[in-house]
Amino acid sequence: MRSDSVKTGAQQAPHRSLFNALGYTEEERKRPMIGIVSSYNEIVPGHMNLDKIVEAVKLGVAMAGGMPVVFPAIAVCDGIAMGHIGMKYSLVTRDLIADSTECMALAHGFDGLVMVPNCDKNVPGLLMAAARLNIPAIFCSGGPMLAGRVKGEKRSLSSMFEAVGSVAAGTMSMEELCEFEEKVCPTCGSCSGMYTANSMNCLTEALGMGLKGNGTIPAVYSERIRLAKHAGMKIMELVEKDIKPRDIMTEKAFLNALRMDMALGCSTNSMLHLPAIAHEAGVELDLEVANKLSADTPNLCHLAPAGPTYMEDLNEAGGIYAVMNELSKKGLLYTDLMTVTGKTVGENIKGCINKNPEVIRPLENPYSETGGIAVLKGNLAPDSCVVKRSAVVPQMMVHEGPARVFDCEEDAIEAIKGGKIVEGDVVVIRYEGPKGGPGMREMLNPTSAIAGMGLGASVALITDGRFSGASRGASIGHVSPEAAVGGPIALVEEGDIISINIPENTINMKVPEEELEKRREKWQPREPKVTTGYLSRYRELVTSGNRGAILEIPHK
């Protein structure tokens, strides 16, 4: 056992004395030592139930003959961090989580790991850690929130942010806003639409790193506790058989995940996280492949914010396995891949039928014949940018308009709420990328303000930052190269005509190359916004959005 390095032999007598101090018995020490990485805290609604999940995992591990040991992982609530300096500290925690988990796992000699995350950055952060460590691991998330209900209609957090825009537009009263505030987030869990947290929990299942229902069973269901016990039991089988994350997270598994990303209409943040996780697994996932897969992967789901259905509906319709089964009918998935169940993808999804064709469209009646995410390129984004195509209204799939240029999110919000943005405009928010932010803030406030003010069908937003999974509309993010390194988005001037063609995967500014060259010669790098602390170190190491914003030591 790996844990023999801290438990067995005369040399380890001091180690055993410390286990004695922790209250562990000799009988426990003879068992495989399983680390349970708990993201529990009291600031993230998706994590407030994780203490119960962790206790269930511990029981499952013990029932199956293991020695469960809990240690923590941090997590930022993206909703609470939104719209202020806090959002600079969201994406950056992904690497802190991976690094700290690596430190804890290797310092203490664990035989296996059960990861208990739930929200936006700690799911990919722990997947990165699992791939990097490559010791047996399984995931059991905390589960999604139930949808709220306002005036008889299901609602979620994206409705809340858009309601703020409606108040600014004068189309909603403060009393109505208060009703939304009271009702849209009714339970613990990751917010109830196909936002980033739920996207990544679903893709964890699609990758083969979580058991059936990991992505969709609501947080408040007792079924989630039973799932946690089974995850605790299953890790012991993975340890016994020495099935490791890189045996599961292969190149083909990531292609399966991308297919599911397209079918589900996941958050564009998945286009940051999947390449970063793959990188840790030794797989280079070029986003060029996304459009190739999208071309023949039907979009089968329109969960909020793209449509009126929610995670609880997807769960009742059969969950992730039912969507995977639909795709397998067309031969779109690799079904012979190993998963944490100890069985192949094909064995897992066999017989998992679609129970509600209104929630999971059948292959013969998809929302679109192509996938939910598109990667665009052009002279504005030579390396790439991404858009959640499934959340774009038809009239905005092709759009041209004048650029309204802002060098930070706050200035853009002020202009939008001040009525200075009109139909046809293309809002450009730059110097918010991984280096420029630093931290690549999400832009849910400006996209929600645009939607709330009734401009969602006529105004596009482009940024080198990123978007919350709760954003909808022609919201195009991850523009690479970013402005801070002199990418073309830094050269856009007020009034330049921006041309967006999502079906053709192009994005361009209609400015002659000679003029762009003149602007390029005049451009000067900006002074960093942050010069101390973790963000300063992050800025020095982070790469561009098209590479997943992974950290890399600069070449000297």
Please identify every residue annotated as catalytic. Answer: 468
Q: What angle do CA 331, 307, 186 make, to 5 degrees?
A: 115
Three-state SS letters, 149-209:
EECCEEECHHHHHHHHHHHHHCCCCHHHHHHHHHHCCCCCCECCCCCHHHHHHHHHHHHCC
CA 399 to chain centre: 27
In angstroms, the CA 536 to CA 528 distance is 8
Name the amino acid, one letter, at 388: K
CA separation for the pair 361, 485 (Å, rounded): 43
Q: Which amino acid is at 119?
A: C
| Look-up of token digits 């013990």 | 62
Question: What secondary structure, in 3-state letters, does 237-306 show?
Answer: HHHHHCCCHHHHCCHHHHHHHHHHHHHHCCCCCHHHHHHHHHHHCCCCCCCHHHHHHHCCCCECCCECCC
**336-340 long-range contacts, Cβ below 8 Å, gap at least 24?**
337/208, 337/248, 337/250, 337/252, 337/253, 337/256, 338/208, 338/243, 338/247, 338/248, 339/208, 339/209, 339/248, 340/137, 340/138, 340/139, 340/208, 340/209, 340/210, 340/211, 340/234, 340/238, 340/243, 340/248
Chain centre distance of CA 34: 26
Nearest alpha carbon to residue 210 among 357, 32, 57: 57
Query: DSSP code of 309?
Result: B
What Cα–Cα distance (Å) separates residue 418 from each residue in 155, 161, 171?
27, 17, 15
* Sheet containing strand 33-38, strands side by side: 67-72, 33-38, 112-116, 137-139
The radius of gyration computed from the CA coordinates of the chain, to the nearest angstrom, equals 23
Query: CA geometry: angle at 389 spanning 429 and 79, to 5°?
Result: 55
Structure tokens at 302: 């329109």
